[in-house]
Structure 1
């Protein structure tokens, strides 16, 4: 099958466009999260998303209404993680673990009450970007604009607090507000990434393009641009390869990302030796 024939399918066009938008979001935010050692927040929020999906499937919501109903739940959970770490004297990883456990337990309980795991729930667990609808693509485009606008608007503050939060705070920056912006933008991105790689693999899409870019980039902005390029390239390759070879799309994207990381790591090691 040649490229023109593959692109003639409407579902492939939607998958490639939607996947590219979400890859850019995950990669850009992933750089901030990795450098701030908050990369596991994606995994925690993914488990909350699992509980929300199970609840939406329990009430038999349409996929579009499901996405819209999940967003406020995941946003609230992101704020819960932040407030637990700030007010309850709980370290960030412990707060993520608490919210993650509640989310996964809720999902399992609801799935059990509904009669067990079904095909719809498994598609959200492991991703099914090839089934993205025009309405879901529209939601992805709107949320993409919101997240990118947030990153651009708060770029300087995010940059300062990423590298030295205490110095940023002493300089008069409202670091609590910046942390809130970062976790809320991450929450929106997690909801979108659910369709690309699935709930179980969301953290990989947030982490792998970022760490690959950080192996080879020589500056912060270069790392962001490189991560976005790697994210888009791996998602496009993963979608195309999974379609041609009839492979699971989410898993294919993640494994290609890991292969890119190994190449970047090897290139960095080679440059050090030479």
Structure 2
């Protein structure tokens, strides 16, 4: 039964809620910045797959008593590198992603069955537990977020060019393949964090849905990133408040708020042409001449 908690303001001031707020905000920042590239590069399936590829890493870590974040990071980054190296074209990437996903899922089932004594931890990996973020995890999240933000600041311009028109970008001398591998590694780090907030099964709520909603409102990459970050942050913050009010898992509220925002933008912009591919890019020559930023 759902009951309203009159002391919800006090709950928001507890240590675990403060950790959830800080950790969730860092994940929302990284996910929002990565979202435009995920949608534009048609990497939504890869983002979803990376979460499942990380599942055996998490369950394996639970099995041997290692930190879950470490297991997730090793498998997500390893899987991301394989996807990036094996799939240059979209079709090749889809095949590589599906094959790696199938193997990782089977491995995850094996590890989960062996770790039956830690069934609650396995459930947390699947659905997330924003309220269980520890101080050590906050430091790891902080490092990952700085790495994602810093790397995007360096490669953003050539990555935009390579995402919108990879054939022309490659002809202009932009290292499209290297940028693709770098991007998938950054996505793997973002997924590693997001899984611990909303879980493997609800990952789209932070990595894809905010950017998809933002793309309905504008086609400018910078504005899409800003709006996606704002939607993701709003979903996390309001989700935590609602969770404190009625004592229910915040993952449900975070996911629901992000999806509702997307549905609302669909209704408001239903007469407009979708903006996913119509991205204005400056003259490609400067981008090729200065591939680092």
Question: TM-score when scaled to structure 1?
Answer: 0.92
**1:35 aligns to 2:36 (yes or no):** no
**Native 8 Å contact 1:25 1:147 kept in 2:** yes
**1:46 aligns to 2:51 (yes or no):** yes
**Native 8 Å contact 1:40 1:203 kept in 2:** no
Partner of 1:160: 161
Partner of 2:232: 231
Q: CA 1:144/1:35 → structure 2, altered by over 3 Å: closer, same or farther? A: same
Partner of 1:73: 75
Q: Where does 1:243-254 land on structure 2 (aligned, <5 Å)?
A: 243-254=244-255
Q: CA 1:114/1:220 → structure 2, altered by over 3 Å: closer, same or farther? A: closer
Q: CA 1:105/1:116 → structure 2, altered by over 3 Å: closer, same or farther? A: farther
Task: Output the aligned Cα RMSD.
Answer: 2.0
Partner of 1:136: 137
- More displaced, 93-102 or 128-137? 93-102
List runs of 5+ in structure 2 lacking aligned partners: 1-5, 274-293
Instruction: Specify the SS of the correspondent of 2:44.
Output: coil
Instruction: Specify the SS of the correspondent of 1:86.
Output: coil
Instruction: Specify the SS of the correspondent of 2:216.
Output: helix
Question: TM-score when scaled to structure 2?
Answer: 0.86
Q: Where does 1:1-274 land on structure 2 (aligned, <5 Å)?
A: 1=6, 4-61=9-66, 65-86=67-88, 91-115=92-116, 118-269=119-270
The whole-number CA distance in structure 2 between the counterparts of 1:105 and 1:263 is: 38
Aligned residue pair count: 268
Instruction: Specify the SS of the correspondent of 1:154.
Output: helix
Instruction: Specify the SS of the correspondent of 2:178.
Output: helix
List runs of 5+ in structure 1 lacking aligned partners: none
Q: Give 1:113 shift.
A: 2.8
Structure with greater helix percent: 1
